[in-house]
Amino acid sequence: MKAMKALFLFTLFFSLALHVESQNIIHNGGFEDTPSTYTILLHDAYFIPRVKGFFEKKTETSNPPIETNKTETGKWYKKASNTGYIIAEIQDKEKASGEYSLYLRNSPHMNQDNPKWYQCVLIQPVSLENDSQYRLTFKAKKENDPENHITKLTAVITDESSKINYTIFIKLKDNDEWNDYSVLFDLKNFKERQLSKKENENKTFDYRNGIIGISANPETSNHKTLLSSIFLDDISLEKIQ
């Protein structure tokens, strides 16, 4: 009887441990929080607040126009230059599940002298363990527009200490359906590889003050941007080791 009870307790605690281990670190990954609690209402649409860099402590006051606020862990932000041609909008017309998803759009016909100017990164401050592995999963759907030229996304994790971006390029499937995507971030391995480089030998890495992001980079032609637009939903970041 005691052996059965001990086995039951072990199974229970093991199951609970697995449940805790698989929790989503990202808050509001399905964009189901009430939009007014984390976005800006403008012209009957909900827009994500903008920051100009990964580790800004305050939001910008333009595109979208808002009063500046402190950035917070567990909130979504649009990392982008000060232009109205880059959009991060919460909408309810296309979604993989629930009521809402996120729409990322790089508009066409913008001058592309500086490629970084038009990068649009959806980011969220997170606290991660320095020597762990994390799996990022999400659903994405290309906007059904014959002029839409988006072919890839970029997933990124970075930290405020080193400011070295750990990036993974994701080739999008060639259809306009909702598709599942998954990438693995091995922070320990990445850190060791970076520290082996002479230029990084004095760097420190601390992902307790980290950023997770998904970037929609515009395609270009003749130094002009092409339409690059996509819907994102059900974003999850889980520790696996």
Which two tokens mark 33? 């929080």
With CA atoms as reference, report the closest residue to 182 among 218, 130, 234, 142: 234
More confident residue, 217 or 53: 53
State the pairing for strand pair 77-79/179-186.
unpaired
Range of the domain at 136: 25-239
Whether 204 maps to a domain, the answer reads: yes
Helix, coil or strand: residue 225: strand
pTM assigned to the model: 0.87
As for how many domains the chain has, the answer is 1
Whether 18 maps to a domain, the answer reads: no
Whether 80 maps to a domain, the answer reads: yes
Which two tokens mark 214? 């998904």
Please check the confidence at residue 221 and state whether its pLDDT lies above 80. Answer: no
What is the average pLDDT across 83-102?
Answer: 94
Whether 13 maps to a domain, the answer reads: no
CA angle, corner 168, sides to 163 and 173, nearest 5? 150
Whether 207 maps to a domain, the answer reads: yes
In this structure, what CATH number is given to the domain that contains residue 52?
A: 2.60.120.260
Instruction: Compute the distance between CA of residue 125 and CA of residue 133 in angstroms, rounded to an integer.
Output: 17
Residue 19's pLDDT band (boundaries 50, 70, 90)? Answer: very low
Whether 51 maps to a domain, the answer reads: yes
Whether 17 maps to a domain, the answer reads: no
Please report the sign of the dihedral spanned by the C-alpha atoms of residue 117, residue 48, residue 234, residue 174. negative
Enclosing H/E stretch for 103? strand 101-106
What is the predicted pLDDT for the residue at 12? Answer: 44
What is the average pLDDT across 107-119?
Answer: 62
Instruction: Give the CA count within 13 Å in the CB-facing half-sphere of 63.
Output: 13
Please check the confidence at residue 218 and state whether its pLDDT lies above 50. Answer: yes
What is the predicted pLDDT for the residue at 114? Answer: 54
Residue indicated by tokens 């909702």: 178
Whether 19 maps to a domain, the answer reads: no
Which two tokens mark 201? 């030998």
